[in-house]
Amino acid sequence: MAKLGFVGLGVMGSRMVNRLLNAGHTVTGYNRTRSKAQWLLDAGMHWGETPRAVAEVADVVFSMVTDTTALRAVIAGPDGLVAGLGPGKIYVDMSTVSPGESRELAARVAAKGAHMLDAPVSGSVSTLEQGKLSIMVGGDRTVFETIKPILEDIGPKVNHVGGNGQAVSMKIATNVSVAVQMLAFSEGVLLAEKSGIPRKTAVEVLLNSVIASPMLSYRGPFVLEMPGEAWFNAHMMQKDLLLALEMGRQLGVPLPATAVTNEVLTAARAMRLGDQDFAVVVEVLARLSGLNK
């Protein structure tokens, strides 16, 4: 098996590494806060002192961080991930950043003689742990085929969607629908609630109706009780919607529902709810409806 590296051991990244370890891979990891990765070290993961150190010992190195700023922090400089790349190595970025930023990074990686794929995911902690995560991949198809079995150890649904930057474009397009669905679902729940139907009953009926989707099946119940740890918080979702709105302007695609959802997420942050799962849009609308004060 190839020696693997992983930079960014947050909520999703750490669980991806756990799946790779369980599949028998050797993984060297790095995280800004080492203590958060202790459970993976206990499970057999090796530690790299810097992103560069991880890339130097790995044949295939992954990164998954929160945004463009965080990505630049782990790839740049003498201790950055790119500095540890060399001919024949493969770098897979699973972060969601702008397509243009991803393509620029791919060019820097190519200058080192290495190959880069962008491979964001669709799903949550729940779908990842259940082995149902979907991964979309952009970049050279031959390189993709080389590491597809490794990606399948993270999630079974792996699709090549085009060249560098096109997978993150697909991910942004996917999250537009996810966010808008959650807002529409919340509107329906609250409309039913204000008409006198208990919220729990409304949720049960809606999740057994024609509007139900895989995303709503696991996130819909959050309008009854939010998770203790956000699966994907409002800050992160707004970051993706802003990327979508930027793409829409560049490509001439109007995104009216995305724009409205983005404003509700702005309200969530103003209400100091930004660290909660983005399903907290229901709380924003409930307060505006006079239900939760």
Two tokens at 186?
A: 């919340």
For residue 125, the model assigns a pLDDT of 80
Two tokens at 98?
A: 């702008």
Q: Write the single-letter amino acid at 133.
A: L
pLDDT confidence tier of residue 9, bands split at 50, 70 and 90: very high
For residue 129, the model assigns a pLDDT of 83
CA distances (Å), 178 to each of 73, 271, 286, in order?
A: 28, 22, 20
Distance in angstroms (rounded) separating the CA atoms of residues 64 and 71: 8
Location of structure tokens 């090549």: 160
Catalytic residue numbers read: 171
Two tokens at 54?
A: 């991880």
Contact at 8 Å (CB) between 190 and 289? yes
Q: What is the 3-state secondary structure (H, E, C) of the chain?
A: CCEEEEECCCHHHHHHHHHHHHCCCEEEEECCCHHHHHHHHHCCCEECCCHHHHHHHCCEEEECCCCHHHHHHHHCCCCCCHHHCCCCCEEEECCCCCHHHHHHHHHHHHHCCCEEEECCEECCHHHHHCCCCEEEEECCHHHHHHHHHHHHHHCCEEEEEECCCHHHHHHHHHHHHHHHHHHHHHHHHHHHHHCCCCHHHHHHHHHCCCCCCHHHHHHHHHHCCCCCCCCCEHHHHHHHHHHHHHHHHHHCCCCHHHHHHHHHHHHHHHCCCCCCEHHHHHHHHHHHCCCCC
Distance in angstroms (rounded) separating the CA atoms of residues 241 and 261: 8
Residue 159 main-chain phi, psi, to 5 deg? -130, 130
pLDDT tens track for 54-88: 999 999 999 999 888 899 999 999 999 999 999 99
Q: Per-residue pLDDT averaged across 264-280, rounded?
A: 97
Q: Per-residue pLDDT averaged across 260-287, rounded?
A: 97
Per the document, the length of the chain is: 293
For residue 84, the model assigns a pLDDT of 96
For residue 217, the model assigns a pLDDT of 92
For residue 103, the model assigns a pLDDT of 95
Contact at 8 Å (CB) between 155 and 133? yes
Pairing verdict, β 134-138 and 157-162: parallel
For residue 239, the model assigns a pLDDT of 95
Residue 7 main-chain phi, psi, to 5 deg? -115, 120
Spell out the domains of the chain, with CATH numbers in brackets. 3-163 (3.40.50.720), 169-288 (1.10.1040.10)
Whether the predicted pLDDT of 293 surpasses 70 = no
Whether the predicted pLDDT of 186 surpasses 60 = yes
